[in-house]
A = this chain, B = another copy of it.
């Protein structure tokens, strides 16, 4: 890298150059769409002007309870208008928002809250018993603020300071928010790996503002058109999971109507999708699979046509995308991870493909897509050399972008491992084609090596999922004396009483061998039907546990 000395000119003494702070996003949304609504289940709705006022009130509430700049505020809530308010108010006073993953085990939750040094907690009624069981082991926490949907006293030994709505009501509607360094930490949350304790990742105001601008540009791209002030948005990726992919921030910037569904209950989700005319959601494939498989949808009683769903977390399979399409649901992929804020790539189709029919588009819709603005992405070999962009050469994905976590919180060794050689290592193996379209082939640790050849477990899963009678599938490598490893598949049948035979699935796959899509040695040695496949707390296949079960 060349070093140069470009010219930096001093500002005139009175000039100001505002830092990139999260509050800017809210102000823009209010200007663009002050009348648009924030909806919470079938329980409440208010417009953007009131949303801003409530953010100011929450800031007063927190300040009055002794929360100041640099403090860590934990939230344990389902997706709600309250959570959205905390997304803004907590960082805007200079404090750090810790979005607690409520799907972790109680011990892991305790670990993350202690490790994050939480000092104040917003807790939904549902999690009061959980925190009551551990609050004595969280000595730094000096207050618990109750979030409940229905009035009524909660009987608990947890030292609650009051109820969110009741305390908010008494606060002034204007808070004089401070300005400060854009590199101040705004959010913190934990990601679980396959080994060891959860790891904390953190993002600054600058990173979140830039991520939001990059995401906004991506979501407004032709063919995507997911979000603007005329659209209705509802997340189905929890807000504790990488800030619901940062979309609440982007939706706020663009002034979209926002619907928060609370705890994910199938009936409520479907009810809101229909009654609020939701245009856009995002979720993991598993959840989309549940929706398109629900009786109400397949029977045609509920019509979801026109709904756009961005799928991430795990790759979207072609069979799921096709099933959705037949119901009028437009799916597209995006790719990222907790460490990357998360957005890295999005399947914005190449111009010629965008004009083609659905079947031509299908494989492109299921790929990870092109790097979004400001993201540098490479696929490299083991020595760190970029591989040819030929859609064939497989290597690890490494990235640079102005919104990547700069370390794991208080984890020196793992941080350096993540950032070795100055690039963030995703741990994913993929190909890049000549147009820069990324296709994820596998997690590095899930790659199956048989007879010296790499086999993509994702590709096999994609193919097996298209076999009639297969609802879900996971492919892993099992040790083999002769070949090193051999692929093995676990399959959940659509009808538990009438599972497809192993031979039927092999015969189905044979077609792809004959057509040259996969090699003969990629055919699984064993295929086993099971009732359920183990998943992680965010709905991904838990290959570590799957390996233990095979």
Contacts and interface: CB of A to CB of B under 8 A. Distances in A.
Contacts of A33: 351
Interface string A10-33: 111111111110001101100111
Nearest to A371: B31
A151 interface: no
A436 interface: yes
B407 A185 contact: no
A298 to B, nearest CB: 33
A18 B402 contact: yes
Contacts of A13: 416
A32 B93 contact: no
Nearest to A250: B217
B68 A4 contact: yes
Given A415-B12, A420-B14, A2 B176 contact: yes
B213 A373 contact: yes
Interface in A392-441: 400-402, 404, 406-409, 412, 415-416, 418-424, 435-436
Contacts of A43: none
Given A33-B351, A184-B7, A407 B15 contact: yes
A341 B178 CA distance: 26
Interface residues of A, number: 89
A169 interface: no
Contacts of A210: 20, 213
A62 interface: no
Interface stretch (A154-162, A221-229, A522-530): A221-229
A14 B373 CA distance: 23
A3 interface: yes
Contacts of A15: 404, 406-407, 415, 419, 422, 424
A147 interface: no
A204 B96 CA distance: 30
A27 B400 CA distance: 14
A265 to B, nearest CB: 32
Interface of A: 1-20, 24-25, 27-28, 31-36, 68-70, 93-96, 176-181, 183-185, 202, 210, 213-214, 216-217, 220-222, 228-230, 253-254, 348, 351-352, 370-374, 376, 400-402, 404, 406-409, 412, 415-416, 418-424, 435-436
Q: Which 9 pairs, one residue from A and one from B, show the smallest C-beta to C-beta distance?
A: A11-B406, A6-B184, A12-B415, A4-B69, A6-B94, A12-B407, A220-B220, A14-B419, A2-B178
